[in-house]
Every structure is written in C-alpha cells, then in structure tokens.
Amino acid sequence: MKGYVHSIYNGGMVDGPGIRSVVFLSGCGLRCKYCHNPDTWDKKSGIVMSIEECMTEVLKYKPYYKFSGGGVTISGGEPLHQHEFVEALLKACRAHDIHTVLDTSGFAPPEVAEKILPLVDLLMLDIKAYNPEIYKKLTGVGLDKTIVFAKTSQRLHTPTWIRYVLVPGLTDDVEDLKKLADFLSDFDNIEKIHVLPFHKQGEHKWADIGVPYELYDTPVPTQAQIDEAQRIFNEI
C-alpha cells in the first residue's frame, strides 16, 4: 500500500494530546478560502511513500509518544481523500500500540466513516461552518457529508474534538454559532470544542500556485470575538 505524503512533522504539540508525529497527506476535495496549505490540494504534489516507510519514520519517536501521551496524527490536505492509505496506516499504528488522531473535515462517503472511525483513538473534526450556504461558499462543497460523518462518530462512540475556525464576515454569525452549538449538544462523544482564529500565514502559498486569495481584506478576529464564540460553545 502506497500513498502521497506531503510531509511528516515530528514533535507536534497542537495536533492532539502529547508529542506527536503528524503525517500530512496530499489531496483535498475542498477549496477553503482560508486554507493555509493550498499546496496540498493536488494529491500528486506529495511524495509516494509506503506504509512501511511512514512507520519507519514515526517509530523513531515512539518513546516520546509513550512518556507524553502522544502518538501519530494523520492530517492533510484532506486525509480521507486517500482513505485506503489512511486505513492501512491506522492499522499499522494500532499494531505498534501507537495512539492515533485523525484530523479531517469529514468530507467522505458514509461507508468510509464506517471503516475508518473504529480504528481511530481520537477524531479531530473540522466543521467549517453550519449554515449550508456559507459552507458551500467557503469550501466549494456541500455540508451533508460532514454532518453524516459527525453523526457516525457519535453512533460509534468515537472520542472527538471539534475545531471551528472563526472568520469575520463568514463564520462569525451569532445565530449560526448557536445553531451549531445546539446541534452538537446531543453528542456525548465530544470532549472539546476549540475555536481557532482565522489567520493569513499561508497567504503567500496561494500566489505560489497561481490562485487568487479572496480573503486579503478580511481581518483576523479579535480576542473578544474568539471569546464570545467559545462562550457559546461552552454553554452547551
């Protein structure tokens, strides 16, 4: 089994608990306007690697995973764009008793969720927006698959962290935030909800791939805006 790997970052501390190796896979069906890694959109932009080659790299850091409560995070791009490779990598990590995190938008067919989620120790689900029109405007795709993916994680009791990027003028509408909070209130598998501030750190990458960056004039959210959004989610 081989896949397209954009990069492997060892020593990550913001992509799940503990010290982690983050395997960034290439390929994504979304075109998020705030994406800071547009260079991962094309699957073939990555390097072809086998499961064995990936495991050789991440196993070097297994002692760090053990003492810190860390492990391996599979991210992207959208990792489920290569769901067969993800499945094989998760199984390989499990065989070596390595904690796994899947960082995904949930943009995958329902049958993929059924196969992948039982292999995941922790799901980090990025919900880009809850208003279907905003979601489509922001990502270029529909919201339905993400909702089904979330509901599947609930049914399978997959421990989940929700991540929500606050973009002024796009994803900061208070009523939309309250509706999302209400939707998530029924999920007993959600451990945390993190509001992340929109940033422009990957803006230069858009120019590198020759695609106009539409959020050039969009301000980053203030701390007060972030705190208010987090408060709404904390109240569920």
What are all long-range contacts of 84-91, with beta carbons under 8 Å and residues at least 24 apart? 84/1, 85/1, 85/2, 85/3, 85/25, 85/51, 86/25, 86/116, 87/115, 87/116, 87/119, 88/1, 88/51, 89/3, 89/23, 89/51, 89/54, 89/55, 90/116, 90/119, 90/120, 91/119
Range 108-119 average pLDDT: 97
Residue 155 in domain = yes
pTM confidence score = 0.95
Pull the structure tokens for residue 56.
């050789």
Residue 227 in domain = no
pLDDT at 85: 98
pLDDT at 80: 97
Q: Exposure pattern of 133-161 as b/e (b: 16+ CB <10 Å)? A: ebbeebbebebebbbebbbbbbeeebebb
pLDDT band at 236 (very low <50, low <70, confident <90, very high): confident
CATH of the domain at 77: 3.20.20.70
pLDDT band at 13 (very low <50, low <70, confident <90, very high): confident
- In the chain, % helix, strand, coil (3-state, to 5) comes to 45, 20, 35
pLDDT at 202: 85
Residue 118 in domain = yes
Residue 101 in domain = yes
CB 193 within 8 A of CB 164: yes
CB proximity list for 191: less than 8 A, separation 6 or greater: 159, 160, 161
Residue 199 in domain = no
CB 39 within 8 A of CB 89: no
pLDDT tens per residue, range 166-218: 999 999 999 999 999 999 999 999 999 999 999 988 888 999 889 999 999 99
Percentage, residues of the chain above pLDDT 70: 100
- Per the DSSP assignment, residues forming a β-bridge with 74 are 23, 102
pLDDT at 11: 86
Residue 175 in domain = no
pLDDT tens per residue, range 62-107: 999 999 999 999 999 999 999 999 999 999 999 999 999 999 999 9
Indicate if the pLDDT at residue 61 is higher than 90.
Answer: yes
pLDDT at 24: 97
pLDDT at 101: 98
Residue 138 in domain = yes
Chain mean pLDDT for the chain? 96
Q: Provide the domain limits for residue 35.
A: 2-165
Residue 201 in domain = no
Pull the structure tokens for residue 230.
């987090």
Structural domain tally of the chain?
A: 1
> How far, in Å, are 115, 116, 228 from residue 156 at the CA level?
11, 11, 31
